[in-house]
């Protein structure tokens, strides 16, 4: 089964974020589920990668990064339609600058620590 973030052919799809033509084959992952350039995805999967069971179809934007215990990086995507959060493996051809920008975003937000403390 193939993930698609937009309409496309069997070997590529059009990104719903930057409109790049994206190959469905991605190094380091069996399911391409986001654009390697802008990291945007589409909310098509429900509980299992590739199941395409979600009826939402909203734009999934990369909001953060996480890491597995083995050090593998994961993108945290949030749906702009329904708010669902999903974790997706970083692919080997993902834009390194976009990934680093996500990683350092909390450091650039001077008010983040204060907002987190107030939320307690």
DSSP label at 15?
-
Q: Residue 64 — φ and ψ, nearest 5°? A: -170, 180
Looking at the structure of the chain, the number of domains it has is 1
Helices and strands (H and E) in the chain: how many: 2, 6
Q: What is the pLDDT along the chain (120 residues), one digit of tens a residue?
A: 334 444 444 688 889 889 988 888 888 777 788 999 999 998 877 766 666 777 787 899 999 999 999 999 999 999 998 888 989 889 999 999 999 999 988 777 777 667 767 777
The pTM score is: 0.74
pLDDT tens, residue by residue, 1-31 = 334 444 444 688 889 889 988 888 888 777 7
1 within domain boundaries: no
Q: Cα(60)–Cα(83) distance, rounded to whole angstroms?
A: 9
Q: Cα(91)–Cα(29) distance, rounded to whole angstroms?
A: 6
2 within domain boundaries: no
4 within domain boundaries: no
Q: 71: alpha, beta or left, given left = phi > 0 and alpha = psi -120 to 50?
A: left
52 within domain boundaries: yes
29 within domain boundaries: yes
Q: Which domain holds residue 95?
A: 12-119
């Amino acid at each position: 089964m193939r993930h698609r973030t937009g309409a496309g052919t069997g070997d590529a799809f059009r990104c719903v974020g930057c409109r790049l033509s994206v190959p469905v084959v991605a190094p380091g992952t069996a399911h391409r589920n986001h654009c390697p350039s802008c990291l945007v995805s589409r909310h098509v999967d429900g509980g299992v990668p590739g199941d395409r069971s979600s009826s939402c179809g909203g734009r999934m934007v990369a909001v953060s990064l996480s890491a597995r215990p083995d050090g593998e990086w994961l993108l945290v995507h949030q749906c702009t339609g329904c708010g669902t959060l999903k974790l997706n493996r970083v692919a080997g051809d993902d834009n390194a600058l976009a990934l680093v920008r996500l990683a350092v975003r909390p450091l650039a937000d001077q008010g983040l620590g204060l907002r987190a403390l107030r939320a307690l």
